[in-house]
Homo-oligomer: A and B are copies of this chain.
């Protein structure tokens, strides 16, 4: 069994916590008011909106060394809903990896809405979590938690693939915001 720390108590943090709990893992769920509480997990999920990540890193960066850090963000321009705020040839995950050189950074959960994580399904399909990262052991550890929680996992490749995962997350958010898809649906994977 693994022990996760999830920074962020919003719908995504709660949904990821529920997946881990279903798999029999223990979860430390930390909110903004818990900044003085040390992180106890070896796997840390940054379940905060992209604009809050830099604050979390400035507060918690030293504690994140040697840990697996999971970036779930979709770095949208939430004013226009028409672009990402990271460089076209970069990603939020790449920025986070650069800011945390002693952590093993993964991109995951940004292509699944909270509702499909919690339900375990996207319509008739089992929800699939796409994971990108450069450390095979870290990906395997996270994949084990996700599959034990009843979801499917696909290894999407190196952390460089976070760029495409963020494009997919962005696309899915724009479709939901424009009522082309439901917040309880979206992209599923038929492997």
A residues 139-186 touching B (CB-CB < 8 Å): 154-157, 160-161, 163-165, 167-168, 170-171, 174-175, 178, 180-182, 185-186
Q: In angstroms, how far is the closest chain B Cβ from the Cβ of A155? A: 6
Q: How many copies does the complex hold?
A: 2
Q: In angstroms, how far is the closest chain B Cβ from the Cβ of A39? A: 31
A34 adjacent to chain B (CB < 8 Å): no
Cβ A171 vs Cβ B181 within 8 A: no
Question: Cα distance A123–B128 when bound, in Å?
Answer: 14
Chain B residues near A180 (CB-CB < 8 A): 154-156, 191
A50 adjacent to chain B (CB < 8 Å): no
A36 adjacent to chain B (CB < 8 Å): no
Cβ A188 vs Cβ B156 within 8 A: no
Given the contacts A164-B171, A178-B157, A188 and B125 also touching, CB distance less than 8 Å: yes
| Ranked 7 nearest A-B pairs via Cβ | A123-B190, A167-B167, A88-B89, A88-B88, A124-B124, A185-B190, A164-B171
